[in-house]
Amino acid sequence: MKIKETPLKDCYIIEPTIFEDERGYFFEKYNEQKFEQLTGMNGHFVQDNISKSNYGVLRGLHLQKGDHAQAKLVSCLEGRVWDVAVDLRRDSPTFAQWYGVELTAENRLQFYVPRGFGHGFSVLSESAVFAYKCDNFYNKESEGGVLWNDPELNIDWKLPAEAVILSDKDRVQPTFAEGNF
């Protein structure tokens, strides 16, 4: 397992060590001891989620606030997504900055998004299966978010605007300036 720091404080890209031969491949998707040793972050996860989405679906920007904040370790099991994290920690040196990474079934990368970050992804392939490991349980009352196309953040979602498919909730998220995080 290799860890790559991103420009955002405490966000990491994780690249697995893959063993391939004529039979196929094997890799360790997650190891709590190695993760904590390499990142210095708590790697204890309590909930796994899977979503399947079609091309153009954009899910985000979401977060859990307060005592229900969640760190996430995300990956794409099938297809291609553009995954984005936004630092919403007001006391962070990278506050209001975003970073994106392409996650695919082929590159097998994982993206660690710590507590206090907004998170979202857009589907770049015909469909995609996306996996989230969360370090805290979901709580509806603690939901927060930021509008996906907020002009202050100016996130490039790698999709033409007319192709974007949103949930009703994501259409009406508050702007960054309104600060629902």
Indicate which residues carry an active-site annotation.
62, 132
What ranges in 25-179 are assigned the alpha helix state H?
32-39, 168-171
Task: DSSP letter for 175, please.
Answer: P
Cβ 80 vs Cβ 56: under 8 Å: no
Q: How far apart are CA 78 and CA 100, in angstroms?
A: 18
- Of 174, 60, 161, 172, the closest CA to residue 111 belongs to 60
User: Which among 154, 128, 106 is positioned nearest to 54, based on CA atoms?
Assistant: 128
CB atoms within 10 A of CB 93: 9
Residue 38 near residue 99 (C-beta atoms within 8 A): no
